[in-house]
Amino acid sequence: MTTKVRFGNQHPTQSVILPYKHSLCQKAIDYYEKTGRKCYEWQINLLEPIMAIDDDGLWIHQKYGFSIPRRNGKTEVVYIVELWALEEGLNILHTAHRISTSHSSFEKMKKYLEDMGYVEGDDFNSIKAKGQERLELYKSGGVIQFRTRTSSGGLGEGFDLLIIDEAQEYTTEQESALKYTVTDSDNPMTIMCGTPQTTVSSGTVSAKYRDKVLFGTSKYSGWAEWSVDEEKDIHDVEAWYNSNPSMGYHLNERKIEAELGDDKLDHNIQRLGYWAKYNQKSAISEGEWRRLKVQSLPILKGQLFVGIKYGNDGTNVSMSIAVRTLSGKVFVETIDCQSIRNGNQWIITFLKNADVASVVVDGAAGQNMLAAEMNDFKLKVPIFPTVKEIIVANSSWEQGIYQKNICHMDQASLTTVVTNCEKRNIGTNGGFGYKSQFDDMDISLMDSALLAYWSCSNTKPKKKQQVRY
């Protein structure tokens, strides 16, 4: 008795595809099948929108990104497009994060040309220098170059098709060097393929691109993914079939069972396509910060300690407070983050109406002006921390999180900044501060909170004097 083969989900679990009437995908599939290989159904479903064109023959999607869990054959989709582009005489740049990945793609494409009946030397030539490989198809003039990505690679060169393989490792510096390489083309296209970011991924471009496309804020762009929207049990077989379209082809349950380990998050990211809603490489992880969350406002003791940070770019100023709780922890909360153009009156108003123990202000952009205004209103003289004290404050913040001495109520703005930050060097003796991993997240929010925490934790609560007779 023959067992019926079960296939994985052949359609993306989430996608954004612009309307189109025509696609060049069948021509690309015909070229590919000359190698003796056949396309999977899901690959055809993905190729159709990628190669969609308008009435003028221009790509519907000038940029198209897709994410599929590992070992499903996502790069095979790219090879199909590249074979078509070679046959059509286009200039292609295929980039990858690792030399081994780039070289493997070169070897694959060379093999495909040979399987199509082309002979090296007679029909095409190849340059095999690792990290700088190249194939040229004589009859069409099509050229494909294989590179490993750097912050300067590709500058000064022009291409019709740009491939970003291992897109989870694609950094903003690399994007700055590569995104202009297709500008001069009459019909440019960029394809990004990869998996969601893991704990060791260095790139941020693909995640930001995904967010923009899904929220409808990126023009001429498309996206497709096979994923789960929440973490699943690693033994959830239905989730395997949902997120892995090549199940039933070259991937099966037995192979996935052999992968299973103890790391649930890693399994969800790499096998189920889960996009964590925080940055995996943040210096302060989402898990560490969430452990400090309280469900309701704790009982507070004593006065408020205020931290004020003027951003290094001179754009915003943030204010946060810290106060001791009955249980001995320090509760932190951000009051606001406003443009410096709004002036300091909102800060002054808060300080006048609150029971404040001390105010710590950092940032050359406005601290002296604020001090003068506080003096005019007869408020307490603020503390201007030295560089040494700033280093201590940052270290104190880190220790407060690790030792669970801090608590908070999960303010969305503060949580977003805290769980998307990385360390930066301060001074020459190993001191550190923090910086945001994204341009639209202002680190001054967290800096103000950590200044408030430092001031509060450094001040010992006053004990009532007891008189005995």
> Which amino acid is residue 380, in one-letter code?
K
Q: Mark whether 159 and 186 lie in a shared domain.
A: yes
Q: Quick one: which of 418, 406, 414, 410 has its CA closest to 457? A: 406
Reduced to 3 states, what is the DSSP secondary structure of residue 192?
A: strand
What's the whole-model pTM score?
Answer: 0.65
In a domain, 229, yes or no: yes
Q: Mark whether 24 and 171 lie in a shared domain.
A: yes
In a domain, 27, yes or no: yes
Contact 331, 296 (CB under 8 A): no
Residue 153 has a CB neighbour count (10 Å cut-off) of 17
Q: Mark whether 261 and 379 lie in a shared domain.
A: no
For 28-52, what is each residue's pLDDT tens digit?
999 999 999 999 999 999 999 999 9
Beta strand 161-164 pairing with 91-96: parallel
Which of 219, 237, 270 delimits the end of a domain? Answer: 270
Q: Mark whether 196 and 244 lie in a shared domain.
A: yes
- Find the domain containing 391 and state its range: 286-458
Cα 61 to its chain centre, rounded Å, is: 22
Residue 426 has a CB neighbour count (10 Å cut-off) of 16
Q: Mark whether 294 and 422 lie in a shared domain.
A: yes
For 334-384, what is each residue's pLDDT tens digit?
999 999 999 999 999 999 999 999 999 999 878 899 999 999 999 999 999
Give the CATH number of the domain where residue 440 resides.
Answer: 3.30.420.240
Reduced to 3 states, what is the DSSP secondary structure of residue 221?
A: strand
Q: Mark whether 225 and 95 lie in a shared domain.
A: yes
Q: What span, in angstroms and rounded, lies between the C-alpha atoms of 92 and 94?
A: 6
Which of 270, 298, 322 delimits the end of a domain? Answer: 270
pLDDT tens per residue across all 469 residues of the chain: 567 899 999 999 999 999 999 999 999 999 999 999 999 999 999 999 999 999 999 999 999 999 999 999 999 999 999 999 999 999 999 999 989 899 999 999 999 999 999 999 999 999 988 768 999 999 999 999 999 987 666 666 899 999 999 999 998 889 988 999 999 999 999 999 999 987 667 788 998 899 889 888 889 999 999 999 888 999 999 999 999 999 999 999 999 999 999 888 889 999 999 987 656 667 888 889 999 999 999 999 999 999 999 998 888 999 999 999 999 999 999 999 999 999 999 999 999 999 999 999 999 878 899 999 999 999 999 999 999 999 999 999 999 998 899 999 999 899 999 999 988 888 766 688 999 988 778 899 999 999 999 999 998 765 554 555 4
In a domain, 467, yes or no: no
In a domain, 6, yes or no: no
In a domain, 2, yes or no: no
Tokens standing for residue 387: 């560089």
Contact 334, 320 (CB under 8 A): yes
Structural domains counted in the chain: 2
